[in-house]
Amino acid sequence: MPQTKHQLQELLEGAGITPRRQWGQHFLIDLNLMRLLVDKAELKGTETVLEVGCGSGSLTELLAERAGVVVAVEIDAKLADIARVQLHPYKNVALFCADVLARKSAIEPKVLAAVKEAQERLRGGFFLIANLPYQVAAPLVLNLIMGQMVPEAMHITVQAEVAQRMAAKPGTKAYGLLSIMLQATGQVSWLRRIKPTSFWPVPNVYSAMISWRRSEEKWEKIGDIDRLKETADMLLQHRRKQIQSCLAKSLSRDNIACLLAGLGINGNIRAETLAPEKFVELAKARHQ
C-alpha cells in the first residue's frame, strides 16, 4: 500500500535523511490523488510505465499493481535504497538510481534502454506517470516528445506554473515552446489544481495534475519534429517582433510575403499569437 505521511517520515528518519529541496523532493502524500493519477491512465497490464522521481516507492507500488513493467528513476541514492526495500515484492519494477536527464540535454541512455526492452517484450503502450520533481518537469517532457520513444500518454503532477505553460492558449503570457510542442503533438488536459498541503514537505507553490495524450493525426501533419521545434524557437526568440521580421534572416522579403500569404498568416502579428497548428504549417512551408 502507498505510504502515509507518518510512514514516509519514519522511513526517512530511519535512514537518517531529510528531503532535499534542491532536488525538488516534495512527496505526494494524498493517496486519493495518487490513485486518480493512476486511474487516469487506464492501464491494462501490458504497458511500460516510466516514473521519474519515485522517491520511496509509494506511487510505484500502485503502478506496479497495474502496469506490465515500471521503470522507476530516483536521483537520491539513499531514497533509492529505501524504494528497493519497499518494492522488493514487485518483480515488474526496474529501479535506477540516476539523473534521468543525462548531461541535462538527453534522457539517461540506460533508462531508455530499459523502457525499450520492456515495451518490445510486452508489446504494449509506453506511459510517463509520475509526481515529477519541479526542476526536471519541462525539460523531461520536451525530451520525451523530441526523442525516438514518444509516450502514448503522460499523466503527471507538476508545478502549477509549468502546467499553465503546457495548457496555455495563444496570446497569453504563459504560451510558449512547451505549449506549442505539446498541443501540436497531442491533447493536453488540465485535471486539477493541487494545494501545497497535499505534499510533504509543503512547497511554497501550488501544483497541478495534467495529462497529455499523443495524437497520431497531429504527428502525421508535423513530419519532422526537430523542424517544428527549430521554427518555434526561432520565432519565439524575439517575442516582440512581427513574424515577417523574425523570418527576414532566412528568407527574402518576397519569399516571406508569398509564404505567409499561402498560409493565411498576417506577417504583422507576433508569433506568440499563432496557434500550434500554424507553427506546424509554417515549419513545413519554410523547408519546402
The dihedral region occupied by 132, where left means phi > 0, alpha psi between -120 and 50, and beta the remainder, is: beta
Q: Are strands 186-194 and 106-107 parallel, antiparallel or unpaired?
A: unpaired
State the cell numbers at 126. Answer: 509506453
> pLDDT for 148-175, tens place per residue?
899 999 999 999 999 999 999 999 999 9
> pLDDT for 24-38, tens place per residue?
788 999 999 999 999
Q: What pLDDT shows up at residue 286? A: 85
Q: What pLDDT shows up at residue 255? A: 87
> pLDDT for 221-279, tens place per residue?
999 999 999 999 999 988 778 998 888 887 788 788 889 999 999 999 999 999 999 99
What's the mean per-residue pLDDT of the chain? 93
State the cell numbers at 17. Answer: 535523511
In order of start, what are the domains of the chain with their CATH numbers?
Answer: 5-220 (3.40.50.150), 223-286 (1.10.8.100)
Q: What pLDDT shows up at residue 202? A: 94
How far is the CA of 201 from the CAs of 67, 79, 166, 205, in angstroms?
28, 15, 25, 12
Mean pLDDT over residues 90-112, rounded? 92
CB contact at 8 A, 44 and 124: yes
> pLDDT for 179-190, tens place per residue?
999 999 999 999
Q: What pLDDT shows up at residue 247? A: 87
Closest CA relative to residue 55, chosen from 88, 30, 84: 84
Round to whole Å and give the CA distance between 63 and 234: 39
Exposure of 120 by Cβ count < 10 A (0-12 exposed, 13-18 middle, 19+ buried)? exposed
Band of pLDDT at residue 131, cut at 50, 70 and 90: very high
Of residues 102 and 97, which shows the higher confidence score? 97
The answer on pLDDT for 134 being more than 90 is no
The answer on pLDDT for 84 being more than 80 is yes
CB atoms near residue 60 (< 10 Å) = 26
Overall size of the chain counted in residues:
288
Band of pLDDT at residue 192, cut at 50, 70 and 90: very high
Work out the percent of the chain whose per-residue pLDDT is above 90.
79
Round to whole Å and give the CA distance between 182 and 167: 8
Provide the residue type at 147 as one letter: G
Q: What pLDDT shows up at residue 181? A: 98
Which residues partner with 70 through β-bridges? 49, 93
> pLDDT for 49-73, tens place per residue?
999 999 999 999 999 999 999 999 9
Band of pLDDT at residue 102, cut at 50, 70 and 90: confident
Round to whole Å and give the CA distance between 50 and 59: 12
How far is the CA of 57 from the CAs of 2, 52, 267, in angstroms?
8, 11, 51
Q: What pLDDT shows up at residue 135? A: 87
pTM for this predicted structure: 0.94
How far is the CA of 4 from the CAs of 9, 43, 58, in angstroms?
9, 24, 9
Band of pLDDT at residue 1, cut at 50, 70 and 90: low
Which spans in the chain are helix H? 5-14, 31-41, 58-66, 77-86, 109-122, 137-146, 160-167, 177-185, 216-222, 225-236, 243-246, 253-263, 276-286
